[in-house]
Structure 1
Amino acid sequence: MMEWVERMNGAVNYIEERLLEKLDYTEAARWACCSAYHFQRMFSFITGVSLAEYIRRRRLTLAAFELQHSEIKVLDLALKYGYESPEAFTRAFSNLHGVTPTAARLTGTSLKAYPRMTFHMSIKGAAEMKYRMEELGPFRIVGLSERVNTEQAFRVIPQIWATAQNQGVFERLWQIRAEGDFMGGILGVCANGEFGENEEFDYLLSVKSDQDPPEDMVSFDYPACTWAVFDAPGGPEGIQEIWSRLYTEWVPSSVYDLAYLPAVENYLPPEEGRNELWIPVVKRGQVELVGDSD
């Protein structure tokens, strides 16, 4: 667990040392030995704030310090902290601090300071996590794909499912399932070629299939991989609970790292009363062996 703490603090150090630059989320994630997609999700689940919001708060905290302790112009400060115009900087500054940059210079003005984040080891795990390990060869998933903004994912993805249900998509997917499908459910997969390196990703509503995708669908091919498969209570809330515990409890204490491959949310038929979260993993220290192009 100490090794995991050191990795996360290394990622934060990378971010803090480059707050005045255009940050490379992929490089920050390498410090944590996971993909940018997993790093952003892990950061959010652990801290309760998105990575983008943390960076925004830290930049505006430093900007407030400069306003109070230097004669720097608002225009120069806006450019220094990555804003395209003084107006954009003023809006962001006012939304966070509740006052304009000009008012922030006045003695007695109340401002907000967000200190840099540091990860520490804590003891968790009073409740059991039911999981199994699977070694699988290559397989394909086929389904509908929609581009989703990372920051809007928790709002947009439920809408994708609701629309799919109303339009009979599930029935179509069920018809192209592979025989002997070992997953047995409708799959939600956050996938793109960079595995989360961008601010957007492709969300696939899919099934395991041996067929070529129909004209309006796409496919994604998984290589042979080791999977950690977690039982989750029925419903989307159960999956989200397992995601949170995966990042905060299982990964820090296990002997595995998250592989550079998309995870699979496996929504089983309602009569099952449960769902599954499939996580591609590699033995700790070997994360670059899967999906890493370097």
Structure 2
Amino acid sequence: MDHYLLETINRTTEYIEEHLLETLCLDDISGHVNVSKFHLLRIWKGATATGLMEYVRRRRIALSLGDLLNQRSNIEYISAKYGFSCERTYNRAFKEEYHVTPAKWRRSPSPLNILDRFNADFMSRAGDGLVFFRSISVLPPFSIAGPTYSIHAEDNLLSQAAARYGVEFFTLSRSRIMNPVEKDVYIGFTSIPEPFTGSMIYQPSLQINHSSIIPPDLNIKHIKPHKYGVFTYIGLHRPEEITPHSLSEIWEYITSTWMPTVPFQLEEKFSFEYINYAKGNKHYCECDLYFPISGL
């Protein structure tokens, strides 16, 4: 399954890059990689955080910068060369991307952050899916509510206890929380007690705010503002069907390739998974994994 995901992403990238100076539409791309349009859009957005046709547009704009620096090419010609219907459309897209018009940038070129060709080499296979580093993000303080469980780490890999508790909460108990921030967003919060004795505290939860109504038997946790390393896992299955093998390889990827490079400054050890069920279905899972680096 992971080979299928990587192959789909790589073939899509190659086809787009080879045809940027030609007419490109979603039907052409999905037909070439032999994946339904709906499914391809989900996979691509999950892997790149960019819409498929948005990627095409932004790559064309990035490539056009070289032509703008060539004073012999007028802007009308450049806009047509890169597939824009007219100069006005190109000007609008360029300004939306770089906050300056093509003509003004040509007169006074300045450094720009561009969208380069997508590189799937930074993705790692994780069981039935792919995991990759997404970003460094800062989150303000937030609060969650849900039951808490003490789970032995090794037992969790074997029995998937956290996943079972999460499914039970999300399907049977989340409706008991009135006015959550996002009713379709699941947050699985894991904290590591000090000293570590082999067990972790797991809290399947929803994010809440001052207007939420919380049943008294659920626990409320307040998380301070932090800087996080964010990873994304995508797989062709339901979120609750992630396997112990996938979990093990996700942890191996994060702990061996990323954590050794990061100077952690934390008062407590925790992490959480963020799953927007509105993005998934029985054939697609997308999960963001947040690992705090330091408090703010």
- Pair in the same fold by TM > 0.5: no
More strand by share: 2
TM-score by length of 2: 0.43
Q: TM-score, normalised by structure 1?
A: 0.43
